[in-house]
Amino acid sequence: MTTRSIRTVLWFALLLMAPVPLMLGVASGFMPVARALMFAGVCLAVMVVEGMRGAVDLLALMLLAQAFVFGALWFAVAAVAARVFALLPRRVATVGVVLAVLAGVIATSSISWYQTPFRGAGTRANLWEIFE
Amino acid sequence: MTTERPVLALLASVLASVLASLVALAPAMAFERTEERAPCAEHAPLRRPFFGDTHVHTTYSYDANTLGVRNTPADAYRFARGERLGIQPYDELGHPQRQVQLRRPLDFAAVTDHAELLGEVHICTTPGVVGYDSLMCRINRRWPLLAYMIVNSAMLNFDEPVRYSLCGPDGARCREAARGPWQAIQQAAEEAYDRTAACRFTSFVAYEYSGNPFGNMLHRNVIFRNAAVQERPTNYIETRTGHELWARLRTECLDRDDGCDVLTIPHNSNISGGALFPIEDADGVPLDAATAALSARVERLIEITQHKGTSECRAATPFAEDELCGFELLPFARMDQYPFKRWWTEPPRGVHAREILGEGLVQEARLGVNPFKLGMIGATDSHLGTPGLTDEDVFPGHGAGGDTTRLEIPRVPDRLFFNPGGLAAVWAEENSRDALFAAMQRREVYGTSGPRMVVRFFGGWEYAEDLCTAPALAASGYAGGVAMGGDLPPRPPDGTPRFVVQATADSGDDGRGTVGLARLQVIKVWLEDGISRERIFDVAGEASNVGAGVDPETCLSDGSGSTSLCAVWHDPEFDPAAPALYYARVLERPSCRWSTYTCLREGVRCDAEVPPPADLAYCCEGETPKTIQERAWTSPIWYGPPAAVVATRSLPDAD
């Protein structure tokens, strides 16, 4: 893997798995950036189908803003990590990246790290439940 | 035997004559029977207080539904009658994780689900109905809190709401779908209503009209007298002002000849931005006499306290320093401000009941009719389907406003600035719809912040100074004047109004324990130079007791305070030319607030080395009051001078 591809893989993994605080006025949670992007997408879909009414545009903006901030943060983290991996032999780096991502998947799948008031049932969720 | 019978006969004849004289002294205005039902076995000519809740939401309300409430109107009425009820959160099998029960059943209740979005809730929760698979309904079912934030902000918190596409191009699908829940609401009320002679429980068919233009709460509960009701509830989406609401109620109810009668009860004027009681329309045209008369006909009461704060008065005014106005005041001016503290602002003038009542005097001087002649009640505004659940020590939260226990039971059940709400007390001859409704119409009602203290308030011109010790206070009260909610009779020459206020503490037989009374006050609002002014008079009890009475470390009462207080008071500053109104406020000794009970329940120790968790930090910080003084507010009694005197003395700038 090239440094760029390592950075991309790690960034996507962080976006999908790393929990970040998300605040939406009366509700707040601790969930991956991808979840915020998903809700932003839902709000945008509502705006397209139903028009801009009430706070849907504000919600979309808040979601996108927070996703942008944490997305940028994770990009920086991924870039630094990629540079570290780049110091290793390519095969070792690739294995290291794969293992790191796998460890993340296993950890976030087996433990309910995330906290979200938006689900249909239960505030705590693991990786699969948060996107269900 | 031979000697007993004459004695019994004599006793019987004395008793009969006493009863006859009491009945003769009883208020002349009896209620009219407008429905078929058995007469109540218990009938009190001098009236007795019935306690109830006229503001309750269930799963038919969109906000409650998306915040996880599953109780129906039928469940709410079962709860009001004393049954246990499961509330959120629910487990995967649908079993409620909490159970609640009233310590004492209510005498009456009205389920008041939001008229707005009744149809939308039905469509989105009924598989197979056209619209069920729409985008909004899918979001509704999959991410209910997100749906709440999107839809509530657009429909209930927006100046010009438009229905979603799931309702069809003209919204007809949702309007039509609202018939189902509206029928279910009526059916639940009918099934809960005790039409037997036992008269154990009364239900009212009702709904809430809820608009929030620009975040200003324009909410009114609409209560029907009997089973003759509107074909469909009026909602803010199609009817944008209170005046239009009353006009629709007139054409769709009052003008009918089937006994349909209705009243509206506004609430949360404290977060209305002053828009709940407008004195001019959007174009600046002043209120006219016809509209004022319609308002006076339909709107007889105001909900002075409920979950989202008390609306009596502001903590300080230019004209009266009332240190007791700080009771359960919200710290913001509009509901849309509450998520962020930096958004909070002070409420403008004209949002508190005392100011509104004073404005009524101003308008009456201008128009000849008082559009804001309002009696006072309390209610819960429960969104959990739990009418009357006002006990501070078991407060489970409110179930709406964006805060939800849908998914888990929090340590702190609600935002610290909210509270469990209050109750309505209605003086009526019997527990039937007609008797209670007539009492509400004549404003012979009072509100409490939860406890069931019994309060009488009469006004007249010639009450005896020793009336409090007289055996028949109520009979004399009615015979010599008017009860709360009425107008003082014409003033005799040199007359000074006298008021009798009598209060008995809540017996505490609900397990809460007796909290004695601290004091009685009479609040006077009058018109002077075209401006309403106010003054507070202590008439019985001890003002210096404030602050004592309960140990906040244990919430145990010290047992002090009075079991009853009574006073005959005359207005020492009476000006016969000044329109005025008077209402009584009854204060209990301090007791623990719900937030203090929470600290105790969670075992928070402020002297511990480890500080409490963030959500319980308030327990040791001092910003949140540890104790409160529960209270009751009576409906006012009005005094109106001869019109000619008003014109010359009270309105110098009128011409």
The ipTM is 0.90
Mean pLDDT for B60-78 is 95
* Residue B25, both tokens: 């002294």
More confident residue, B7 or A52: A52
* Residue B295, both tokens: 């308002």
Q: pLDDT-based confidence at B237, cuts 50/70/90?
A: very high
Neighboring chain B residues of A30 at a CB cutoff of 8 Å: none
Q: Are residues B445 and B464 in the same domain?
A: no
Mean pLDDT for B591-596 is 96
Backbone angles phi, psi at B310, to 5 degrees: -100, 145
Q: Tell me, what's the pLDDT at B342?
A: 87
Q: Is residue B620 part of a domain?
A: no
Compute the distance between CA of residue B611 and CA of residue B616 in angstroms, rounded to an integer: 9
Give me the DSSP letters along A61-84: HHHHHHHHHHHHHHHHHHHHHHHH
* Domain region containing B118: 47-450
Q: Which among B435, B450, B465 is the end of a domain?
A: B450
Q: Distances from the Cα of B514 to the Cαs of B420, B588, B645, in angstroms?
A: 19, 10, 48
Is B251 within 8 Å of B292 (Cβ atoms)? no
Compute the distance between CA of residue B66 and CA of residue B76 in angstroms, rounded to an integer: 18
A86 pLDDT higher than 70: yes
Positive or negative: CA dihedral B423, B387, B262, B239: positive
> Which of A46, A55, A117 is closest, CB to CB, to B135?
A46
| Mean model confidence pLDDT for chain B | 90
Exposed / middle / buried, residue B44 (Cβ in 10 Å: 0-12, 13-18, 19+)? middle
Percent of chain B predicted with pLDDT > 70: 90
Q: Is residue B41 part of a domain?
A: no
How near does any CA of chain A get to the CA of B339, in Å? 5
* Residue B359, both tokens: 């404005």
Compute the distance between CA of residue B198 and CA of residue B1 in angstroms, rounded to an integer: 36
B15 pLDDT higher than 80: no
Q: Is residue B504 part of a domain?
A: yes
Q: Tell me, what's the pLDDT at B508?
A: 79
Q: Are residues B386 and B485 in the same domain?
A: no
Q: Are residues B331 and B260 in the same domain?
A: yes
B11 pLDDT higher than 80: no
Neighboring chain A residues of B139 at a CB cutoff of 8 Å: 42, 46
Identify the weakest region by mean pLDDT among B37-46, B100-109, B316-325, B633-642: B316-325
> Domain tally for chain B?
2
CB contact, 8 Å: B408 with chain A? yes
* Residue A126, both tokens: 């693991």
> Which of B146, B152, B407 is closest, CB to CB, to A121?
B407
Highest mean pLDDT among A20-34, B494-508, B541-555: B494-508
Calculate helix-pair angle for B179-192, B73-80, nearest 10 degrees. Answer: 20
| DSSP category for residue B545 | G
Q: Are residues B425 and B458 in the same domain?
A: no
Q: Are residues B434 and B487 in the same domain?
A: no
Q: Are residues B442 and B496 in the same domain?
A: no
Is B145 within 8 Å of B66 (Cβ atoms)? yes
How near does any CA of chain A get to the CA of B78, in Å? 26
Q: Tell me, what's the pLDDT at A25?
A: 74
Q: Is residue B530 part of a domain?
A: yes
Q: Is residue B33 part of a domain?
A: no
Q: Tell me, what's the pLDDT at B410?
A: 86
Q: Is residue B624 part of a domain?
A: no
Q: Are residues B141 and B183 in the same domain?
A: yes
Q: Is residue B329 part of a domain?
A: yes
B654 pLDDT higher than 50: no
Compute the distance between CA of residue B294 and CA of residue B515 in angstroms, rounded to an integer: 41
Q: Which among B425, B450, B475 is the end of a domain?
A: B450
Q: Are residues B65 and B214 in the same domain?
A: yes
Q: How many CB atoms lie within 10 A of CB B184?
A: 18
CB contact, 8 Å: B8 with chain A? no
Q: Tell me, what's the pLDDT at B193?
A: 98
Q: Are residues B272 and B406 in the same domain?
A: yes
* Residue B218, both tokens: 């324009």
Q: Is residue B40 part of a domain?
A: no
Q: Are residues B229 and B285 in the same domain?
A: yes
Positive or negative: CA dihedral B140, B143, B148, B153: negative
Pick among A35, A47, A53, A130 to test the B interface (most B CBs inside 10 A): A53
Q: Are residues B429 and B301 in the same domain?
A: yes
Compute the distance between CA of residue B549 and CA of residue B526 in angstroms, rounded to an integer: 34
Does the distance separating the beta carbons of B404 and A55 come in below 8 Å?
Answer: no
Beta carbons within 8 Å of B268's beta carbon, 6+ residues apart? B217, B219, B276, B303, B306, B308, B309, B311, B335
CB contact, 8 Å: B235 with chain A? no
Is B192 within 8 Å of B77 (Cβ atoms)? yes
> Which of A53, A54, A118 is closest, CB to CB, to B146?
A118
Q: Tell me, what's the pLDDT at B335?
A: 82
Q: Are residues B555 and B486 in the same domain?
A: yes
Query: In what helix (H) or strand (E) does residue B478 lie, and over which residues does it extend?
Result: helix B473-480
How near does any CA of chain B get to the CA of A32, in Å? 16
pLDDT tens-digit map of A24-72: 877 788 999 999 999 999 999 999 999 887 789 989 999 999 999 999 9
> Which of A39, A49, A117 is closest, CB to CB, to B407?
A117
pTM of the model: 0.91
